[in-house]
Chain A
Amino acid sequence: MMEVLHNLAFGFGHALTWQNLLFCAIGCTVGTLVGLLPGLGPLATISILLPLTYSIPTGGALIMLAGIYYGAQYGDSVSAITMKIPHASSIVACIDGYQMTLQGRTGLALFTAGVSSFIGGTVAILVLAFFAPMLGEVAFLFGPADYCALMLVGFVCVSFVTTGSLINGMAMCLIGVLLGQIGTDINSGMERFTGGLPFLADGVGLVSIALGCFGIAEITKNLDNKDERTPFNGKIKLMPTWPEFKRIIPSALRGSVIGSFMGILPGGGPVIAQFAAYALDKKVSKYKDQIGNGAIEGVAGQAAADEAAARTSFIPLMSIGIPENAVMALMMAAFIIKGIQPGPNMIAGHPDLFWGLVASMWVGNVFLITLNVPLVRYWLSVFKIPYSVLFPSILFFVCIGTYSVNNNLDDVFITATFGFIGYLFLRLDLDAAPLMLGFILGPMLEENFRRALLLSRGSFVPFVTRPISGTLIGLIALFIAWQLIAFILQVRKGKAAEKPALAEA
């Protein structure tokens, strides 16, 4: 207990330098602003803004990235509440939040979301400070086979959570793994799938894939849809009355606990946490009959869970070294670009970075609530910019972002290629988020797979007999069996429904 407090104090010492405060503030603000833009969720926002951090010292860069991440989350929920423009990370905020806007209570909804995020974030940071070091100890028990199994569990969970279809999601994970194979094989030094192109020897750039699949593909989708959005022009009255304020607290606390828990699970993270918190509030809240029609609880619980899960999802990344969802995979890549390998050794090896980051998350929370919540009416003016001005500008940032990774214009061609592939994915109902996870984890999966087989002299038995990997693989098998049975039942039901129809005809 004392140790954690001591460590947190140490972290605040790092987070509260003028420089790091500035990076945190810039990250939160820019993240919110870009996150507000239609079609740009956290993944696209982080990859567009990644180059901004290249010239910044490591500690500050990580703090700024984290700031961008939760700034983007908050920006998403603002656009969801005011205009019902959801990204994957703020679907639930659209339900009650937008209802409140229709009732002219936008300010209250935004205030509720802001305060609940603050509560959720605070709870999550305590969880993070206690659990990450503990889980880091557990990580030392993991062998190569266990790492493989854990990554597979991550694939299965992410596939199911983000796409709702195990087959489509797994396909995308595998495509990601295959894309990760492009480049030089670290064991034999042999070049694979490069087609003799020298700029592919180091592999495909992560930023190119992310900007292609999330930036370019999204822009094109918005252009295809052609819907001109009416900007939000309503009045915003932020301060709630005391009874309203009292309703926020219990729901936000429930959401924080659920969110913190959901954030740690593989494949978990903000999306599933929001749904869980919303479902719980619908069951137990004192005002449950109002939820769905613009109740404070419908906004508070999910906003707290969203923020809490966004922070606790750092736990698997920083203590085990395995990102659990696509956003964390991108974070991991950003860490590696700055020369930090996330994992059990990070907490011991770079305590200043780890605790500084944890403390800065709370500082970021304070910025969100003091800067972004009061200024939200100015942020919303972003939506007054017509899309025909916005999308060439986003394209420009995509180009600059791609180019400045290696100061190489060839990368723009790779981004364009992935833009096309990403658009194809979009039209074929394939979600690109699992692809990101597969791409980042692919090389790690291969390395651990080869090492596990080397240790067992080519036998697959240890994958099943080792307690950790055995349990995890058992879970995957159960899950696949469940999906299979569900599909067969669905087809039978469809057939049964068809038969009477035929009989009538």
Chain B
Amino acid sequence: MKDRNLIRGLFLITISLGFGLVALRYPRGDFSRAGPGMFPLIVSSLLLLIGVITVVRSRFVEHLPLTFNVKHIALILGSLIGFAVISEHVNMIAGVIFMVFFASLAGSAKYSVVRNLKIAAGLIAVALVFQKLLGFNLPLY
């Protein structure tokens, strides 16, 4: 069942319906005076067509398995979201430290607190250079 080509088609159809159904609610006007809903509707219809073609085509070509590794992408996204939330509520230095420690769980090398501390210290130094010398507006502390 996990055919990459088939899933791709279904994915495209989902996106096209997502945009297309919302676009239906916007005023369309007519071709000589197109409203805001006209163009997105045309584009999402084309995308729907491509999605359907992809699904049909997947019947004719070789089935390829879909590989999806949840762990790494979840860790990376988690570290980004954590960085944003902590920077918002505490400060950005804490955010950087959290990001380094959390993201490193995804690395293939052995987990090392000392190495993470070194990376975090280096990155905070870079952030300070950005703030002081290049005029970036970073809420570091």
Q: B9 to nearest A CB, angstroms? A: 9
Q: Are B108 and A223 in contact (CB under 8 A)?
A: yes
Give Cα A450–Cα B37 distance, bound, in whole angstroms.
12
Q: Which residues of B contact A181 (CB under 8 A)?
A: 19, 39-40, 43
Closest to B42 in A: A449
Q: Which residues of B contact A428 (CB under 8 A)?
A: 4, 7-8, 11, 66
Give Cα A223–Cα B66 distance, bound, in whole angstroms.
17
Q: Are A391 and B57 in contact (CB under 8 A)?
A: no
Q: Are A409 and B36 in contact (CB under 8 A)?
A: no
Q: Is B109 an interface residue (CB 8 A)?
A: yes
Q: Which of chain A's residues 183-220 have a Cβ closer than 8 Å to chain B?
A: 185, 187-188, 190, 192-193, 216, 219-220
Mask, A428-453, CB within 8 Å of B = 1, is 11100000000000000010011001
Q: Which residues of A contact B134 (CB under 8 A)?
A: 52, 55
Q: Which residues of A contact B57 (CB under 8 A)?
A: 167, 487
Q: Are B127 and A400 in contact (CB under 8 A)?
A: yes
Q: Is A224 an interface residue (CB 8 A)?
A: yes
Q: Is A289 an interface residue (CB 8 A)?
A: no
Q: Is B50 an interface residue (CB 8 A)?
A: yes
Q: Are B108 and A416 in contact (CB under 8 A)?
A: no
Q: Which of chain A's residues 449-470 have a Cβ closer than 8 Å to chain B?
A: 449-450, 453-454, 456-460
Q: Are A386 and B35 in contact (CB under 8 A)?
A: no
Q: Is A70 an interface residue (CB 8 A)?
A: no
Q: Which of chain B's residues 30-45 have a Cβ closer than 8 Å to chain A?
A: 30-36, 38-40, 43-44
Q: Which of chain A's residues 39-58 have a Cβ closer than 8 Å to chain B?
A: 51-52, 55
Q: Are A392 and B99 in contact (CB under 8 A)?
A: yes
Q: Which residues of A contact B104 (CB under 8 A)?
A: 388, 392
Q: Which of chain A's residues 19-43 have a Cβ closer than 8 Å to chain B?
A: none
Q: Which of chain A's residues 221-238 have a Cβ closer than 8 Å to chain B?
A: 223-224, 226, 228
Q: Are A427 and B67 in contact (CB under 8 A)?
A: yes
Chain A binding surface, main DSSP class: helix
Q: Is B138 an interface residue (CB 8 A)?
A: yes
Cβ 8 A contact of A419, one of B53, B54, B77, B83:
B77
Q: Which residues of B contact A51 (CB under 8 A)?
A: 136
Q: Which residues of B contact A456 (CB under 8 A)?
A: 32
Give Cα A185–Cα B80 distance, bound, in whole angstroms.
31
Give Cα A216–Cα B72 distance, bound, in whole angstroms.
11
Q: Is A491 an interface residue (CB 8 A)?
A: yes
Q: Which of chain B's residues 4-62 have a Cβ closer than 8 Å to chain A?
A: 4, 7-8, 11-12, 15-16, 19, 22-23, 26-27, 30-36, 38-40, 43-44, 46-47, 50-51, 53-54, 57, 60
Q: Are B84 and A188 in contact (CB under 8 A)?
A: no
Q: Which residues of A contact B130 (CB under 8 A)?
A: 400
Q: Are A395 and B80 in contact (CB under 8 A)?
A: yes
Given A167-B57, A427-B68, A453-B32, do A174 and B99 touch, yes or no (CB 8 Å)?
no
Q: Which residues of A contact B31 (CB under 8 A)?
A: 453, 458-460
Given A404-B136, A407-B137, do A392 and B103 touch, yes or no (CB 8 Å)?
yes
Q: Which of chain A's residues 303-327 have a Cβ closer than 8 Å to chain B?
A: none
Give Cα A393–Cα B96 distance, bound, in whole angstroms.
10
Q: A181 to nearest B CB, angstroms? A: 5
Q: Are B50 and A170 in contact (CB under 8 A)?
A: yes
Given A174-B46, A454-B32, do A446 and B39 touch, yes or no (CB 8 Å)?
yes
Q: Which residues of B contact A392 (CB under 8 A)?
A: 99-100, 103-104, 116, 119, 123
Chain B binding surface, main DSSP class: helix
Q: Which residues of A contact B77 (CB under 8 A)?
A: 216, 416, 419-420
Q: Is A403 an interface residue (CB 8 A)?
A: yes
Q: Are A420 and B32 in contact (CB under 8 A)?
A: no
Give Cα A423–Cα B74 distance, bound, in whole angstroms.
11
Q: A229 to nearest B CB, angstroms? A: 12
Q: Are B115 and A389 in contact (CB under 8 A)?
A: yes
Q: Are B136 and A216 in contact (CB under 8 A)?
A: no
Given A171-B54, A395-B103, do A412 and B12 touch, yes or no (CB 8 Å)?
no
Cβ 8 A contact of A424, one of B11, B47, B96, B126:
B11
Q: Are A193 and B19 in contact (CB under 8 A)?
A: yes
Cβ 8 A contact of B108, one of A55, A388, A409, A413:
A388
Give Cα A407–Cα B66 distance, bound, in whole angstroms.
38
Q: Which residues of A contact B15 (CB under 8 A)?
A: 175, 178
Q: Are B108 and A226 in contact (CB under 8 A)?
A: yes
Mask, A404-427, CB within 8 Å of B = 1, is 100101101101100110011001
Q: B55 to nearest A CB, angstroms? A: 11
Q: Are B39 and A429 in contact (CB under 8 A)?
A: no
Q: Are B47 and A178 in contact (CB under 8 A)?
A: yes
Q: Which residues of B contact A400 (CB under 8 A)?
A: 127, 130, 136, 138
Q: Are A413 and B19 in contact (CB under 8 A)?
A: no
Can you list 16 A-B contacts (CB < 8 A)? A51-B136, A171-B54, A178-B15, A192-B22, A216-B76, A388-B104, A388-B115, A392-B116, A395-B76, A395-B103, A399-B99, A400-B130, A427-B68, A446-B39, A450-B38, A458-B30
Which residues on B are within 8 Å of A, measured CB to CB?
A: 4, 7-8, 11-12, 15-16, 19, 22-23, 26-27, 30-36, 38-40, 43-44, 46-47, 50-51, 53-54, 57, 60, 66-69, 72-73, 76-77, 79-81, 83-84, 87-88, 95-96, 99-100, 103-104, 106-109, 115-116, 119, 122-123, 126-127, 130, 134-138
7 tightest A-B contacts by CB? A458-B32, A458-B31, A388-B107, A412-B84, A388-B109, A185-B36, A416-B80
